[in-house]
A and B are shown apart, each in its own frame.
Chain A
Amino acid sequence: MSKLEDAIAGGRFVLTAELLTINSGGLDAVSERFEPYEPWVDAVNATDNTSAHAHASPVAVSIALKQLGMEPVMQLVCRDRNRLALQADIAGAALHGVENICCLTGDDVTAGDQPESRRVFDLDSTQLLVTATGMARGRYLSGRAIHPAPHLFLGAVENPGAPPFDYRVERALEKVRAGARFFQLQVCFQKELLERFMAEAVARGLADQAALLPSICLVRSTASLRFIDEKVPGISVPPELIERCERAPDPEAECFELACELAEHARALPGVAGLHLISFRREAGIARLCQRLGIPTRVERESRGHGSSVAV
């Protein structure tokens, strides 16, 4: 059982964070990125060419995290690899003890800095989940045996903030049938849309079948909020939130307040199993947010066995 799986199975409040992208610098570059928030998180996501920009691969970064004693969540997107390469990366990472895999569609190549690239999408994210589930049962997609079968703990992403709003929970349930056991929900700046998703997730039983982790995005400037709104596919930032931060005497502080407010709101919603934290800067924002929200450290959560966000 992976550490993340163990935390979720134990009903503890789960905290994951997204590792900043890495291009070079050895293992030191990896450790310095998660050290500021290491005491709080259960696992760290190794991203897969985020926003269609090339970076150190999620397989390599996941192995590095493992070597550094940090629990990795390896993201895999369908944009850059065909089904052979995806299975090879799952098997390869599993060889090094990487068990948590988050399967995503991936932003299109046109969102990146090499829009002339060929887009692959040989599998979609649901098909990738079915494929990975099969591998955990000891079979490649071809039926060829994998012995011993790797242990995998599979996750996915769903976006509460993108249309069709009345289909997102349904789609997540399809992914559960495909093998997803945790969801790192896309960042959603619209409280009402996250509320709607979570209410339906509880009513439809999704929250019982998979751990739901809403994502909270920390930014330091209103320019970043505008950038996210305009450039990041699938995320909208309501203009009133941007204006609120712009009009504040200290916009940077107000951006942090906003993240804390969204985090407080998300973790209080019924059915929420934890949070996924994303910061675009190499700084202590995630640690500050955890302290501000009074979230116990990982060790404290483990020893106290905190069951729900309310108990935190």
Chain B
Amino acid sequence: MKPLALVEAAVKRPVFGCRMCGQCVLHSTGLTCPMNCPKTLRNGPCGGVRPDGGCEVIPEMRCVWLKAVERSRKLPWAEEIHDLRPPVDNRLWGTSSWRNFLTKRDKQTPPGWHVEA
């Protein structure tokens, strides 16, 4: 990892459990990292959430998306949770999302990705 990515990882791993996907969406997911979902879902919870709110795959862990939905509602920009987030660009793993944000690299979506506003 490059120096900036190392700094980012040092800050975000302990706080958010950041996986360094390089295209951070924490802002729109209630400051909850969706890459902690075992299925790495970027657009909401799967149908396997347990009645007690536990994850289908790791029962003792609370569903990441349950937390994301709850937390997002407390934020002034609550509506952003409904954004349709594009697929992960797998080339960006391990790179700094801060840098990718500033260079707008993280806003590049596949040319065929089209969502109605």
Query: Which residues of A does B touch, CB under 8 Å?
Result: 78-79, 83, 104-105, 107-108, 110-111, 119, 121-127, 130-131, 133-134, 137, 139-144, 157-159, 162-164, 167, 170-171, 173-174, 177-178, 186, 233-234, 236
Contacts and interface: CB of A to CB of B under 8 A. Distances in A.
Interface in B62-87: 63, 65-66, 69-70, 82, 84-87
B111 A142 contact: yes
Interface residues of B, number: 36
Nearest to A158: B47
Nearest to B66: A164
A131 B116 CA distance: 13
A177 B47 contact: no
B14 interface: no
Given A141-B113, A142-B110, A177-B116, A234 B44 contact: no
A167 to B, nearest CB: 5
Contacts of B90: 122
A278 B46 CA distance: 20
B94 interface: no
B87 A108 contact: no
Contacts of B63: 163
Contacts of A78: 39
Interface string B16-58: 0000000000000000000000111111111111110100110
A127 B86 contact: yes
Contacts of A171: 43-45
A101 B87 CA distance: 19
Nearest to A126: B43
Given A110-B57, A163-B63, 17 more contacts: A105-B41, A108-B48, A108-B56, A119-B39, A122-B90, A124-B42, A130-B84, A134-B114, A141-B111, A142-B111, A162-B48, A163-B45, A170-B82, A174-B82, A178-B115, A233-B47, A234-B49
24 contacts: A78-B39, A105-B41, A105-B47, A108-B38, A108-B39, A108-B57, A119-B39, A124-B42, A124-B87, A127-B43, A127-B84, A130-B113, A130-B114, A142-B112, A143-B112, A164-B69, A171-B43, A171-B44, A174-B43, A174-B84, A178-B115, A233-B56, A234-B47, A234-B56
B107 to A, nearest CB: 16
